[in-house]
């Protein structure tokens, strides 16, 4: 269940042993994975996104929850949250973004691997989700015209560097991609923008421009896209 409409105070992303995610202003209970939900301006999308509809969350007097795309849910149901559903752009690997139903299914399927990778690398799971969404829209068979492969669009050299024998295997791809992303975060002082820019354009490009986002339109748009997905927390798909 997702708790929405919280104030601007600290919020937490809690993930239990079954992989169910909750966004709350109360620290997570024991047995849950706790991650701070970053809502600062650095991770808010700077460019506008097209809203294609809304999802509504209702509760009855007994606390039972209903999620629907309808603004009304009958007697006894109280509206407690309204969340926009955005149009998601084409993934970097090429081709159209999947419809929301397919996207939700993919997110659910790969969430356990992403949570495991987050635990192993110390990365924010929302950052991993955001990169995968931007790179392949969760398509494990994605291949870009430049030869990048799988969920996190690993280039052959990066796959070899991190011991990924089969880039189209989701577990191997996420493990290799997150290890590389973790390396970039450490190299660039845990600056998400620089790490993401390096993931897109290469470490050398970020260094070349004095550790700043390279002046490439693709890279600048990519950074904004990842920040936008991360700000949303991917919770819209839960």
What's the farthest any 2 CA atoms get from each other in the chain?
62
Apex 221 CA angle, 193 and 162, nearest 5: 55
Give the span between the Cα atoms of 229 and 149, in whole angstroms. Answer: 21
Determine the 3-state secondary structure of 90 from DSSP.
Answer: coil
> How deeply is 226 buried, as exposed, middle or buried, from its count of CB atoms within 10 A (0-12, 13-18, 19+)?
buried
Q: Is 59 a catalytic residue?
A: no
Contact 193, 175 (CB under 8 A): no
- Kindly give, in sequence order, each residue whose CB lies less than 8 Å from that of residue 46, ignoring residues fewer than 6 positions away: 224, 227, 228
Joined together, the tokens standing for residue 13 give: 């992303």
Determine the 3-state secondary structure of 48 from DSSP.
Answer: coil
Q: Which of 17, 120, 135, 207 is catalytic?
A: 135
* Catalytic residue list: 135
């Amino acid at each position: 269940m997702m708790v929405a409409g919280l104030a601007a105070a600290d919020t937490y992303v809690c993930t239990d042993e079954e992989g169910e995610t909750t966004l709350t202003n109360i620290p997570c209970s024991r047995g849950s994975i706790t991650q701070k939900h970053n809502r600062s301006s650095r991770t808010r999308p700077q460019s506008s996104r097209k809203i294609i509809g809304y999802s509504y969350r209702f509760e009855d007097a007994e606390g039972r929850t209903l999620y629907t795309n309808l603004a009304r849910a009958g007697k006894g149901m109280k509206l407690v949250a309204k969340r926009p559903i955005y149009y998601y752009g084409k993934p970097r690997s090429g081709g159209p973004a999947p419809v929301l139903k397919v996207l939700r299914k993919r997110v659910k399927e790969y969430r356990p691997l992403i949570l495991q990778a987050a635990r192993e690398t110390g990365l924010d799971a929302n950052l991993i989700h955001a990169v995968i969404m931007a790179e392949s829209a969760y398509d494990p068979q994605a291949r870009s015209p430049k030869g990048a492969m799988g969920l996190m669009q690993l280039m052959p050299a990066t796959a070899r560097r991190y011991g990924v024998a089969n880039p189209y295997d989701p577990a191997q791809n996420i493990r290799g991609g997150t290890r590389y992303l973790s390396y970039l975060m450490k190299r660039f002082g845990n600056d998400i923008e620089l790490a993401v820019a390096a993931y897109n354009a290469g470490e050398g490009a970020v260094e070349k421009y004095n550790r700043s986002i390279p002046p490439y339109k693709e890279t600048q748009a990519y950074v904004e896209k990842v920040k936008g997905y991360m700000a949303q927390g991917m919770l819209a798909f839960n």
